Amino acid sequence: MYDFHLHSRVSFDSTADPKSIVLSAEKQGLKEICFTDHYDFNTDPAVAPDIFTVERYAEEYDSLASHSVLIRRGVEFGLTTWNTKELSDLLSKRKFDFVIGSIHYVDGTDPYYPEFWKSNSGREAFQKYLLQSLECVKVHDDFDVLGHLNYVCKSAHNPTHEPLYYKDFADICDEIMKIVADKGKGMEINSSGVDRVGQFLPSADFLKRFKELGGEIVTIGSDAHDDSRVGQYASEGLEILRDIFGYVCTFENRKPIYHKLK
């Protein structure tokens, strides 16, 4: 099994020791993991970003090892419409195996927090998030997979407590996924929505459509921020990918590796 979306204390929103994440992966019998700590930007350039230093990253990860789990080093970069140069600058300072491109801000506010929902209803919020995602994937070219396409729905403050359904926003979702596919990028299936809204982010219908639109690269990740969720629902997620694609991808030196699922 694999988990290609993990956070430790290198991320601003985690206090987990990287070693504890590795030990949990070993106990879960995972074959390969990737640390993908946040390097995130608000949509307002004047707001201080939540970023790590490459020196801190190297200190935590470069000597990290396991007797049974292959450890990859990645980053979850927060895409905005204006920070393509910031991504290029980061990638010039540090080589990564894997880059998740995620959208965490809409109109300067993260949908994970209650402030966003004070001025947005469920459907309006979902549409705003997707439109922001569309603009971001149009301008960015140097990420490997699009992270948790329907991230907006998993917030505990989402008043509907329901997932973002593909059928409700098919046109926008198709446009996003077509751009991702045409750029040779992939989609992540993220298990953090299962306990929140009862679905992977995104769900199987998104992934089926992604394949129809020419998408080939798919990864799986728990989005764990502590050792308790490492590899969570990996078996269920891999079953979905097996039925749709027949494989799951990992990455090394920014190149996808395809693992056949039996």
Q: What are the tens digits of pLDDT across the range 141-171?
A: 999 999 999 999 999 899 888 999 999 999 9
Q: What are the tens digits of pLDDT across the range 33-67?
A: 999 999 999 877 778 889 999 999 999 999 999 99
Q: Does the pLDDT at position 197 exceed 90?
A: yes
What is residue 234's predicted lDDT score, i.e. its pLDDT? Answer: 96
What is residue 160's predicted lDDT score, i.e. its pLDDT? Answer: 85
- Per-residue pLDDT, averaged over 234-244, amounts to 97
What is residue 37's predicted lDDT score, i.e. its pLDDT? Answer: 98
What is residue 30's predicted lDDT score, i.e. its pLDDT? Answer: 98
Q: Does the pLDDT at position 78 exceed 90?
A: yes
Q: What percent of the chain has pLDDT over 70?
A: 100
Return mean pLDDT, the chain: 95
- Per-residue pLDDT, averaged over 213-233, amounts to 97
CATH topology of domain 2-260: TIM Barrel (3.20.20)
- Per-residue pLDDT, averaged over 77-95, amounts to 96
What's the per-residue H, E or C state across the chain?
A: CEEEEECCCCCCCCCCCHHHHHHHHHHHCCCEEEEEEEEECCCCCCCCCECCCHHHHHHHHCCCCCCCCEEEEEEEEECCCCCHHHHHHHHHHCCCCEEEEECCCECCECCCCHHHHHCCCHHHHHHHHHHHHHHHHHHCCCCCEECCCCHHHHCCCCCCCCCCCHHHCHHHHHHHHHHHHHCCCEEEEEHHHHHHHCCCECCHHHHHHHHHCCCCCEEEECCECCHHHCCCCHHHHHHHHHHHCCEEEEEECCEEEEEECC
The CB-based long-range contact list for 173-177 (8 Å cut-off, 24+ gap) reads 173/130, 173/149, 173/206, 173/209, 174/209, 174/213, 175/134, 176/130, 176/133, 176/134, 176/137, 176/146, 176/149, 177/149, 177/206, 177/209, 177/210, 177/213, 177/215
Q: What are the tens digits of pLDDT across the range 99-116?
A: 999 999 998 889 999 989
Q: Where are the domains of the chain?
A: 2-260
* Residue 197 contacts residue 163 (beta carbons within 8 Å): yes
Question: What is the Cα 236 distance to its own chain's centre?
Answer: 17
Q: Does the pLDDT at position 123 exceed 90?
A: no
Q: Does the pLDDT at position 215 exceed 90?
A: yes
Residue 121 pLDDT grade (very low, low, confident, very high; cuts 50, 70, 90) = confident
Q: What percent of the chain has pLDDT over 90?
A: 90
